[in-house]
Structure 1
Amino acid sequence: MKPPAAAAMFLKSSGWADAQLSPVAGDASFRRYFRVHDGDRRAILMDAPPPHEDPRPFIAIAEHLKNTGFAAPEIFARDLTHGLVLLEDFGDQRMREHLDERPEKEEAIYRQVIDLLRQLHRHPAAPVPAYDEAQYLREANLLTEWYCPAQQLAVDAAGFEACWRALLAPVIAAQDPPVTVLRDYHAENIMLLGDNRLGLLDFQDALAGHPAYDLVSMLQDARRDVPDDLEEKMLAHYLADHSAPAAEEFRRHYAILGAQRNTKIIGIFTRLSVRDGKQRYLDFLPRMWGLLEKDLRHPALQPMAAWFDVNIPHAIRSRPIPEATP
């Protein structure tokens, strides 16, 4: 993975002329990352090439989070014309790998990440767009736009969207006032820093929405199995200061948003395979279907569960998606 052509001049103008670059594992987007070494100094170069990417939302949310007291990377330099950002290096101690090596720390770390959400939700939402019905529906429809065609399924797309509209109406009503929703709050985007701090990454798509969304993102992780008993314990921990009726409503919204998010991810992972040739994302689909089916068992989701039973029966959900041809 070669650095972008503009990187050398950008680093020189930023005071890192003699730095060496090495690639860092990226994500599912067009963004790429490089670790920048210059003697004892370390930084991360984000390559967010226009027109595919725009680093301005990342910069804005990073600055908002830092101003609110959370550990987001400091922005050292930026070149918006070429989509280059030099930012603080949070190291390599991700929550995911830390727990793989130290499973006995699981409950303590999850309690810490849930406490961070509780703290974040006490602050007014960042100045970002609302997580509105149109956005929720665009995401859910990724299932009918990508997964269903990949499985050669003719489904009731209109009924699917109508069901989501009915389910999401009370969720959206409860987003008043909204909280900052980071939207990719999971074990691969949490860095364990010194002084018992948690570093936040991958929040450029943040919206103002429901507090249950990031809780679902963490406790129904697309890339890591979270035991059911741990999910329940952490959900109860988040709801410790809620009244019984408020907790019951929150759990209902949690299940609805869990189903919405897991539906969306099945569509996204299918698109990454079919459109972008990233076949490794298909390996996550069995977990995603398991999480979605768990959410669909909530009584509030009975109409959506019925739609899935008719349109995507269980036998199809376990059927592999044909790999895209080069």
Structure 2
Amino acid sequence: MTETNTSLNLTLQNEADTIRLGEELALVVKSGDCLALRGDLGAGKSTLSRALLRAMADDDYLEVPSPTFTLVQNYDLRLPVAHFDLYRLSDPAELEEIGFMDALENGVCLVEWPDKAGDCLPQTRIDISFAFDPAGGRTISITASATKIARIKRVLSIRRFLDSRGYAGARRRHLTGDASTRAYEYIYPTDGGARRILMDAPRQPDGPPIRDGKPYSQIVHLAEDVYPFVAIDLALRARGFAAPEIFESDCEAGLLLIEDLGPDTVLDEGGRPIAERYRASVACLAALHATPFERDIPLPTGGVHHVPDYDRTAMKMEAELLIDWHLPWKRNGEPATAAERAEYLAIWDALIDQLADAEKTLVLRDFHSPNIIWRGDRQGIDRIGLIDFQDAMIGPSAYDLVSVVQDARVTVERDLVDQLMTDYLSIRRSESDFNEASFLKAWSIMSAQRACKLNGLWVRLMTRDHKPGYMKHMPRTLWHLSVAFEHEALAPLRDWCARVGIGENESLPQAR
């Protein structure tokens, strides 16, 4: 269904305002966006284009020549960007010759003098019209679908948040987005102070109910606003762990300005694990598991955040991703039979029953390479910066150890896995109430549960969400499942997978 277009009107007082708008548009453009820039000579089209390109390159001195004579200039940036100037275009049919459709398919198009293209520009474009204001400056009208206008309004509202909190004029640059709806920016204060990070996590509407009247996010206890992040952050910092300080917040708007813990990760330049850093991460995790956390954490704005349980319903719902998405994909679209589903779920009920006596603690849930910051100038647990913990639960402590030693996004070779397990267990053995056999059984069960979830999730991201890039991780996470199967408790699940063909003819992951 085609969305109805809507408009947004702005006033730009001077060239600096035009540059700022270009920089802020650089934060929200997505692959497939076409920005049609309309206006007379000198109205600001080229100024905005230049600012957008330099912001995406994070290079204030990037050469941005006018494409007036070449018709197009291409830039390999965070997203590929093609800058078109169609003033000299003699026939709209020439767009195909200069690669317009390919550029639009692969990235972002900036188009000056779009009227020369006739009706060849996409209906889903973002029209930006410049006009001279009799009072001085420029007036800007932006017309696009409601979804795209909402993106632009959001980035402008973040600017207002920063301006109101003492960061007026701060330089903003894209940091990252993830598979969720969160996005992050680097914030550079004008006074030269320390770089901050802006976390943009607007409250999400509930999805469609899928079971017992609840959406998927509620069933598996995914954070729907920033309050859980704030609560867990404060609890971690109060116990001496290196979570980021929160400098400014508007929790209702889903905006947090937080400490930048640093640029270093636990991986080398080639994306391979650095053993020392992984071992320090596991030591930090062992300390975390030996630290008590309350279930109800007071919030600075009043009220409390109740840390949910990693309960049977959540575990099974995640494990079902394997049978709902991976198995049909494996079978070229043929779903599981009723008998196969019933047996699979019964196996998981029995496995979850065996977790009744497992150690329970705060589970960060995503303790792996993208979310571990290395702070080599610190000591002890302060060397390990913790981020992305808003979905934390109370559950088997073994889950987070699975997350790091069976890193979903990078291959941790078996010898390092064994070393990390040895490190963790040697630290925990000094605790009189630590039950190693129970922990190892829980580790294997949670390893299988996480692998089942991920091997289904990769397919869902590809087929439903059109994000095929995650499929490269599947050989690795299938290997993780085979490692979990080494424990005798997993024999029923191992046999079921063998019968339905999961894991067959799959190559083991290669080190990156």
Normalising by the residue count of structure 2, what TM-score does the alignment of the two structures yield? 0.58
Which residue pairs with 1:56 in the alignment?
Answer: 227
Can you list the C-alpha shifts for 1:158-192, whole angstroms capped at 9, x where unaligned?
111110110121213324xx211101001221111
Which residue pairs with 1:47 in the alignment?
Answer: 200
TM-superposed CA distance for 1:315, in Å, is 3.8
Can you list the C-alpha shifts for 1:199-248, whole angstroms capped at 9, x where unaligned?
101111101111111111000010111111211122122112438x9323
Residue number among 247, 265, 287 corresponding to 2:454 in the alignment? 265
- Aligned positions of 1:271-286 closer than 5 A: 271-286=460-475
Higher relative contact order (CA 8 A, sep 6+): 1
After TM superposition, the structure 1 stretch with the greater mean CA deviation from structure 2, 50-59 or 262-271, is 50-59
| Structure ID, larger Rg | 2
Query: Residue 205 in 1 paired to residue 391 in 2?
Result: yes
Which residue pairs with 2:259 in the alignment?
Answer: 88
Which residue pairs with 2:242 in the alignment?
Answer: 71
TM-aligned CA distance change 1:172 to 1:268, over 3 Å: farther
Which residue pairs with 1:114 in the alignment?
Answer: 282
Secondary structure of the structure 2 residue equivalent to 1:44: strand
TM-superposed CA distance for 1:316, in Å, is 6.7
| Structure 2 Cα separation of the partners of residues 273 and 21 of structure 1 | 31
Q: Is the 8 A contact 2:458 2:470 kept in 1?
A: yes
TM-aligned CA distance change 1:272 to 1:91, over 3 Å: same
Which residue pairs with 2:378 in the alignment?
Answer: 195
Q: Is the 8 A contact 2:244 2:386 kept in 1?
A: yes
Across the two proteins, how many residue pairs are aligned to each other? 312
TM-superposed CA distance for 1:269, in Å, is 1.7
Which residue pairs with 2:318 in the alignment?
Answer: 139
Normalising by the residue count of structure 1, what TM-score does the alignment of the two structures yield? 0.89
Secondary structure of the structure 2 residue equivalent to 1:267: helix
TM-superposed CA distance for 1:16, in Å, is 0.6
| Structure 2 Cα separation of the partners of residues 37 and 62 of structure 1 | 23
| Structure 2 Cα separation of the partners of residues 237 and 10 of structure 1 | 45
Q: Is the 8 A contact 2:320 2:453 kept in 1?
A: yes
Which residue pairs with 2:171 in the alignment?
Answer: 20
After TM superposition, the structure 1 stretch with the greater mean CA deviation from structure 2, 131-140 or 77-86, is 77-86
Which residue pairs with 1:287 in the alignment?
Answer: 476
Secondary structure of the structure 2 residue equivalent to 1:46: strand
Task: Name the one with the larger helix percent.
Answer: 1
Q: Is the 8 A contact 2:266 2:373 kept in 1?
A: yes
Can you list the C-alpha shifts for 1:94-144, whole angstroms capped at 9, x where unaligned?
11246847x6xx332222111111111111134211111111111101112
Residue number among 327, 330, 342 corresponding to 1:158 in the alignment? 342
| Structure 1 Cα separation of the partners of residues 373 and 247 of structure 2 | 19
Query: Residue 301 in 1 paired to residue 490 in 2?
Result: yes
Can you list the C-alpha shifts for 1:12-61, whole angstroms capped at 9, x where unaligned?
11111110110012221110000001123311111112225411111111
Task: Name the one with the larger strand percent.
Answer: 2
- Which runs of 5 or more structure 2 residues have no equivalent in the other structure? 1-26, 29-153, 206-223, 296-306, 508-512
CA RMSD in angstroms, aligned pairs only: 2.0
